[in-house]
């Protein structure tokens, strides 16, 4: 069984790598996705609507549609019936791109630490403990 990535876990739990979550903790000034649709950047928006992820979404959708399923699927169907395809989708997303378009460089540092658990700047002087 393939281990879950930090990106997959963030997508399934809704905690971490999305504007809605980060805005809730006042890490970013608003939760609107920078894709231009003026929608809140929740997980559902990232999966189904964000124009920034059109290519990644196509790679998610095409194999599912080839099986005869109707797009869009429910979140439960994606995470249970098509978990391998959804896992690959989550890994393919450049989450920093979702925030760089906002002009928020600090969030990229946070995302880098979240994904790789290592110091990336002077703001993270020590590495994460290995437990």
Supply the pLDDT for residue 73.
95
Supply the pLDDT for residue 75.
93
Find the length of the chain.
Answer: 131
Supply the pLDDT for residue 5.
83
Contacts for 85 with CB less than 8 Å, ≥ 6 apart = 60, 63, 64, 78
Torsion angle of C-alpha atoms 93, 114, 77, 72, degrees rounded to 10: -40
Supply the pLDDT for residue 115.
47
> pLDDT tens string for the chain (131 positions)?
567 888 888 899 988 888 899 889 888 888 999 899 999 999 999 999 999 999 999 999 999 999 999 999 999 999 999 999 999 999 999 887 777 655 555 555 455 545 444 334 333 334 444 43
The whole model's pTM is what? 0.75
The radius of gyration of the chain from alpha carbons, rounded to an integer in Å, stands at: 15
């Amino acid at each position: 069984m393939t281990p879950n990535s930090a990106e997959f876990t963030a997508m399934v739990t809704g905690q971490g790598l999305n504007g809605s979550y980060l805005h809730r903790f006042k890490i970013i000034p608003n939760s609107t996705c920078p894709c231009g649709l003026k929608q809140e950047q929740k997980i559902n928006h990232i999966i189904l609507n964000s124009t920034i992820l059109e290519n990644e979404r196509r790679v998610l959708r095409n194999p599912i549609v080839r099986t005869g399923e109707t797009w869009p699927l429910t979140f439960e169907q994606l995470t249970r019936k098509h978990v391998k395809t959804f896992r690959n989708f989550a890994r393919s997303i450049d989450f920093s791109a979702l925030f760089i378009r906002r002009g928020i460089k600090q969030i990229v540092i946070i995302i880098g630490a979240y994904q790789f658990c290592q110091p990336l700047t002077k703001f993270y002087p020590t590495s994460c403990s290995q437990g």
